[in-house]
Structure 1
Amino acid sequence: MDVTDALTPVVTIGLNRNSSSFDYSMTELNNLVEANNMTVAETLVQKLDKPDPATYFGKGKIEELKQVVIDDGVATIVANDELSPSQIRNIEKATNARIIDRTGLILEIFANRAQSREAKLQVELAKLKYQLPRLHTSASQRLDQQTGTASGAGGATNRGAGESQYELNRRTLEKRITHVNQELKEASKADQTKRKQRDQSDIPTVALVGYTNAGKSTVMNGLIKLLGEDEDKQVLVKNMLFATLDTSIRRLTLPDQKTFLLSDTVGFVSQLPHQLVQAFKSTLSEAANADLLIQVVDGSDPHRDLMMKTTEDTLNEIGVTNMPMIVALNKADKQDIAYPTREGDNLIMSAMDDASLTTLIDMIKEKVFKNYQTISLLIPFSKGEVVSYLNDNTNILKTEYKDDGTLITSELNETDAKRLEKYRV
C-alpha cells in the first residue's frame, strides 16, 4: 500500500485578497496539512476583497466547493484563514464535510506533537482559549428560549434549561482554563528555578530561533558533532513543519574550555495563532533570556524575507527586542553560491559543512565571550585545587613554575576574575 493511502485526503481553500504573499501562504497551508498526516486532494481559491461573513467563500464558490468534496470523496476541508463559528457551521452544512481553519489545524499539529507535560499543557490551554468564544447554543436551546418568552412561567423553565447547558459548557471550559493555568504556573516555577541556577553558574546562553524547518536542529546537531560531544546530546531532525515543540538545551564546551548553553526553540510560522504564542511564552522565554540569538533562515527559500519578518514579529510579541543576533542563512549547499561567507553579523552557511559551523562558533565566541580578560595569576603550591580548576575550566595560555608558586596566564570571565583577584600579579 502506498504511504499516501494512509493519509486523510482534504480540500484546502483560501481567499486571495490581492496579497503578494497569498501563493506562499497557500503553499505553507498545504505543508501544514501534510505535517498533520493529511494529503491535499485539491486546492480551491477565490479572489475576494474580504470574506463573506456567512460562508467565507461567495455563494457560487461554495457550490463549487460542495461539488469538489463530492467528486474527490473527501470529508475534510481546511481553510487558510481563521473562521468565525458561524462560517464554520454554514460551510459544514452546505458541504456535509468537516471544516478546519488555519488556527485549528496548527492547534491539531501541536496537540499531536507535544511530548513533555508542559508542552501538552500549553497546547491544551491554547485549544481551550480557541474553543471558548466558539461555544454556541443549539437550535433546540434557542427554540426553548423563544418558547419561554411566549409561554409564561412554564416557558421560563425551558428558557433556563436552554441557557444552562450553554453556561455549563462555558463554565466547564473556564474552570479547565483556570486549572491548566495553575499547572503551568507550577511548571514555570520549576523552569525559573533551573534558569536561575544556570544564570548563577555564569554560563552564557545562546538560543536558536527562526522559522520552522529552517534547520535549527541540524545546526545544533552539527555543533554537537563538531565539538566532539556525546551523540546522545543530538536532537530530532525531521523534514517536517513543527517536528518538535519542546525546547532542547545542551551544554557545549569549546576547545579553549569556554562553555555555553545552546537551546533549540520551537519554530515559527506565519499567522501563528495568538493563543499559541501566549501559551508558549514560557518555552520561548529561553530566547527572551538568552545572551545571544541565532536566527536560522532557510536561505534557499524564495520567501526567506517573509520568514524573517514572521520571526521578528513573533519575537516582538513575546517581548524580545534589541537582542544581540547572528543571522545564519542556512542551506547554502542548495544554492549556487560560495559559503561560508560572513558579512558582519550575517553568515551564509550550510549546517552540513564543518567550515560553516566553525565560522559560526567564531561568531558566537565574539559575541558571548567578549568580556573575558587575559590575566596572570600566581597560585601558591598549597592551592593545587585552584590550578586544577583553571586547567579544567579556562583557556590556559601559559604556565610557568616559580619558587613561590605556579604562574598561570589564562582567559577568565568576570566572575572568575573577581574570585581569583587575590592571586593576580
Structure 2
Amino acid sequence: MDRAIVVGLDMGLYNMEASLNELSSLADAVNIKVVDKVTQKAELPNGRFYIGKGKVDELKTAISVLDIDLVIFDDVLSPAHIRNLEKELDVQIIDRSFLILQIFSERAKTKEAVLEVSLAQQRYMLPRLIGMSESLSRQGGGSFNAKGAGETKLELDRRRILQNITKLERELEKIQQEKDTSRKRRAVDETPVVSLVGYTNVGKSATLNSLIEVASNPIKKDVFEKNMLFATLETHTRRIKQQKKPQFILSDTVGFVSRLPHELVRSFESTLSEVVHSDLILHIMDGSTNQKTVQEETTLDVLKSLKAEMIPRLRVYTKKDLMIGDLLSHDADCVISNKTKENIDKLFELIYLRLFGEETIIDLKVPYKDNGIISSLEENTTILEKNYDDVYAYYRVKLHEKQIKDYKQFL
C-alpha cells in the first residue's frame, strides 16, 4: 500500500479540514494510506510550487521521516507545479482531479463508463504531457505508481491523444443517440422520469433499492450498494409500478464530490443526460452528516452546469435511523431510512403528487367494447364502486389529476 501526505492550500474558499478528510477518503478508495495532512494559509498559490518554499522544505523532511511514496494536493495543479514539486521532493505528485480519475478508472465496468473515463483521462493529460511525464513513469515501488491512470499514454504524442479524444467522442455520441431514441419511445407513452442525484455515498443506490422493494417486494436487492465513495458509476434505470398507480421511470446516477474535475463532468455528459431530461429530481442527502450544506451546494453546482437546475426537485434526507431527534429535518421534503424503510411510503406519495397531481374522485361510464380502458382502470386506479347495465360499466375511481385526461371522454 502506498503511503501519502495530503496537502491543502487554505485560501478561505471552503472548509479545509473537511476537504482534506474527504481527500483522504478518496485516497483510501484506491488503497493509498494517508499518514499525514499538511495545510498552509495563503491568499494566492505560489507561482513555482503552489505552496511556499518553506512548506516545501517541511514536506521534504516529512517525506523522509514517514517513508512517503506520493504527495496528493487538494486542488488542480498546473504542469509547472507538478514538475517543480517532483524535482524538489523526489516523489510522485498528484492532484485531486488525478486521484478522482484514478478511482473512476478502477470502478468503470460498462462500455459507456469505460469510454467516459478514458475520455476524461485524455482531456486531463493533454495539457500536462510534459509536466506529468516523470510522475507517470516513476516506479516508486507502490501499487498505485505501478498502475497509475494514464501510464500507457506516456507513449502517445499530442496528436495521438487528440485523435483518441475525437474517436472517444464519436463512440459516446453513438451511445447518446441510442439513449435519445429510447427516450423518445418513453415520451410517446408519456412515462415520466425521476432521477436520483446527490453527493457520492449518501445513499442514492440504497434509496433506489428501497423504492423498488416497497413497490414490488423483490427478494433480492436490485442495484449494487456499498458504503464507499463512487460505488457505482453507471446509470441504473428501473420502471416503477405500484399497485393501482401509474408507472414512472426511476434513474440512479453517478455521485458527485466537491470540485469534481471539469474533464469528468464534460466526459460524463452521456451518463448524466438522463438528469437533464427528468420530470422530477430526487436530491438525496445524508441526513446524519454535518456536511449537508457543502454536499447540497456541490450537487446544485453540477445541476447548474448541466442546465438542469430548474427541474422540479424533492430534497430527501437519508439515514434517519442515524439522526438525532430529526435535527434539521425541517429542511427536507422527506426524511427516510433505507435500513428500516421508514417514510419510504411517504416519499412515494410525494413523488406521485409532483408527477401526477393531487388525488381526486371521478365517475366514468365506459362501453364494454372499450376493454382496454377497463383494464387500465383496474390496473392504474383505485376503484371505489362499479355497476353494470347491458351496454356500460359505471365506475367511481380515485386517481391523480393528470390521469383524468386518459379517461376524459368517459366522464
Structure 1 alignment gaps of length 5 or more:
1-6, 140-165
Q: Which moved more, 1:54-63 or 1:234-243?
A: 54-63
Letter in 2 for 1:101: D
**How far apart are residue 222 of structure 1 and its match?**
1.4
Letter in 1 for 2:390: D
Judged with a 3 Å threshold, the aligned counterparts in structure 2 of structure 1 residues 38 and 67 are, in CA distance, closer, same or farther, namely same
Judged with a 3 Å threshold, the aligned counterparts in structure 2 of structure 1 residues 316 and 218 are, in CA distance, closer, same or farther, namely same
* Residue pairs, 1:103-122, within 5 angstroms: 103-122=97-116
Report the counterpart of residue 331 of structure 1 in structure 2. 319
* C-alpha distance in 1 between matches for 2:286 and 2:58: 37
Deviations 1:137-188 (A, max 9, x none): 999xxxxxxxxxxxxxxxxxxxxxxxxxx99711101111111010010010
Deviations 1:325-382 (A, max 9, x none): 1111222322221499667x62233232333111111111110111777543333334
* C-alpha distance in 1 between matches for 2:132 and 2:385: 80
Residue 226 of structure 2, aligned match among 223, 238, 241: 238
Are 1:392 and 2:379 matched, yes or no?
A: yes
Are 1:34 and 2:24 matched, yes or no?
A: no
Letter in 2 for 1:408: Y
Residue 263 of structure 1, aligned match among 243, 251, 259: 251
Report the aligned-residue RMSD.
Answer: 2.6
Any idea what SS the aligned residue of 1:294 has? strand
Residues 317 and 329, structure 2, Cα contact 8 Å, conserved in 1: no
Letter in 2 for 1:201: D
Report the counterpart of residue 90 of structure 1 in structure 2. 84
Judged with a 3 Å threshold, the aligned counterparts in structure 2 of structure 1 residues 111 and 72 are, in CA distance, closer, same or farther, namely same
* Residue pairs, 1:53-68, within 5 angstroms: 53-68=47-62
Q: Which has the larger radius of gyration?
A: 1
Q: Which moved more, 1:47-56 or 1:268-277?
A: 47-56
Are 1:183 and 2:171 matched, yes or no?
A: yes
Query: How many percent identity over aligned positions?
Result: 36
Any idea what SS the aligned residue of 1:301 has? coil
Judged with a 3 Å threshold, the aligned counterparts in structure 2 of structure 1 residues 137 and 167 are, in CA distance, closer, same or farther, namely farther
Any idea what SS the aligned residue of 2:22 has? helix
Judged with a 3 Å threshold, the aligned counterparts in structure 2 of structure 1 residues 113 and 138 are, in CA distance, closer, same or farther, namely closer
Residue 44 of structure 1, aligned match among 38, 43, 58: 38
Report the counterpart of residue 157 of structure 1 in structure 2. none
Any idea what SS the aligned residue of 1:49 has? coil
TM-score by length of 1: 0.85
* C-alpha distance in 2 between matches for 1:138 and 1:283: 28
Letter in 1 for 2:337: S
Aligned residues: 391
Report the counterpart of residue 201 of structure 1 in structure 2. 189
Report the counterpart of residue 126 of structure 1 in structure 2. 120
**How far apart are residue 20 of structure 1 and its match?**
4.8
Any idea what SS the aligned residue of 1:329 has? strand
Residues 244 and 378, structure 2, Cα contact 8 Å, conserved in 1: no
Deviations 1:290-314 (A, max 9, x none): 1111111112211211111111111
* C-alpha distance in 2 between matches for 1:79 and 1:341: 35
**How far apart are residue 278 of structure 1 and its match?**
1.2
**How far apart are residue 407 of structure 1 and its match?**
1.7
Report the counterpart of residue 408 of structure 1 in structure 2. 395
Residue 174 of structure 1, aligned match among 152, 157, 162: 162
Letter in 1 for 2:30: N
Residues 229 and 252, structure 1, Cα contact 8 Å, conserved in 2: no
Report the counterpart of residue 145 of structure 2 in structure 1. none
Residue 206 of structure 2, aligned match among 211, 218, 226: 218
Residues 340 and 348, structure 1, Cα contact 8 Å, conserved in 2: no
Structure 2 alignment gaps of length 5 or more:
134-153
TM-score by length of 2: 0.88
Report the counterpart of residue 11 of structure 2 in structure 1. 17
Deviations 1:102-136 (A, max 9, x none): 01111111111111111111111111111111123
Any idea what SS the aligned residue of 1:23 has? helix
* C-alpha distance in 2 between matches for 1:352 and 1:368: 26
Judged with a 3 Å threshold, the aligned counterparts in structure 2 of structure 1 residues 390 and 342 are, in CA distance, closer, same or farther, namely farther
Judged with a 3 Å threshold, the aligned counterparts in structure 2 of structure 1 residues 282 and 371 are, in CA distance, closer, same or farther, namely farther
Q: Which moved more, 1:22-31 or 1:326-335?
A: 326-335
Letter in 1 for 2:166: T
Letter in 2 for 1:275: E
* C-alpha distance in 2 between matches for 1:401 and 1:76: 79
* C-alpha distance in 2 between matches for 1:121 and 1:223: 30
Residues 241 and 247, structure 2, Cα contact 8 Å, conserved in 1: yes
Letter in 2 for 1:398: E
Report the counterpart of residue 73 of structure 2 in structure 1. 79
Judged with a 3 Å threshold, the aligned counterparts in structure 2 of structure 1 residues 54 and 377 are, in CA distance, closer, same or farther, namely same
Any idea what SS the aligned residue of 1:355 has? coil
* C-alpha distance in 1 between matches for 2:239 and 2:328: 25
Residues 107 and 127, structure 1, Cα contact 8 Å, conserved in 2: yes
**How far apart are residue 257 of structure 1 and its match?**
2.7
Residues 357 and 402, structure 2, Cα contact 8 Å, conserved in 1: no
